[in-house]
Amino acid sequence: MKLDYRFRDPALAELALTHRSVGRPNNERMEFLGDALLGAMVGEMLYDAHPRASEGELSRLRAQLVNGQALAVVARELDLGDGLKLGSGELKSGGFRRDSILADAFEALVAAVYLDGGFDACRDVVRGLFARRVADLPKSSKDAKTRLQEWLQARGLPLPTYELAGSHGEDHAKVFEVNCSIAEPVPLSAAASGPSRRAAEQDAAETVLGQLTPPLPPA
């Protein structure tokens, strides 16, 4: 196992890798605890990394990182399959390769670290494993124009307006200049340029969003 953590009580790690097909004791209760810990800790990472994301966006991003298939990938990187304890039936059917079993074992292992070393030690392990994964996610699952429109609609405010201020350059390298403006909750506007009108509109909308946050008026 390649986990960057040294257990004071190795029995906890052993239990975390013991599937229910072996009998009791097994890792089912630890799965429950590990699932809750992962949700909270990865959620905290996403909250910090995506300050403009809505609750729904954060939930979708977290689901990408902690679903069974994604956790099975982490488990394989840690070689958890090599240390799994399985009943004879699961051994014969290749249970050590099954996504669901690997994901459950990883969740249980997170709980084992928590029980062995406490919250901070567990948080450090989770951050070490998920920092790159969080960084590799898009900054938002929706583009800037959509986010700005939805933010205004949710508050019953007028939609933004986009105006083409001009364009210049040769046809094969034209640059478009666009203004994005909103009237409420306070008048704001931003100008941007880009290789297409759409790209310029996205950049202008992103700037307006940045002027809205922080702080956002209450929804």
Q: Supply the DSSP string of 200-218, one letter for each residue.
A: HHHHHHHHHHHHH-SSPPP
Residue with tokens 């008026």: 217
- Integer CA distances (angstroms), 210 to 27, 144, 213, in order: 45, 10, 5
Query: Which of these is catalytic: 57, 90, 104, 107?
Result: 107
Q: Tell me, yes or no, if 107 is annotated catalytic.
A: yes
The CA–CA distances, whole Å, from 67 to 62, 78, 114, 185 equal 8, 17, 20, 38
Residues 46, 56: Cα–Cα separation, whole Å: 12
Buried b (16+ CB within 10 A) or exposed e, 53-92: bbeebbeebbeebbebebbbebbeebebbebbbbeeebee
44 catalytic? Reply is no
**Which distant-in-sequence residues (6+ apart) come within 8 Å of 33 by Cβ?**
111, 114, 115
Give the dihedral sign, CA 55/56/61/64: positive
State which H helix or E strand residue 105 sits in.
Answer: helix 99-117
Active-site hit among 31, 35, 104, 116: 35
Q: Which residues pair with 80 in a beta bridge?
A: none
Q: State the catalytic residues.
A: 35, 107
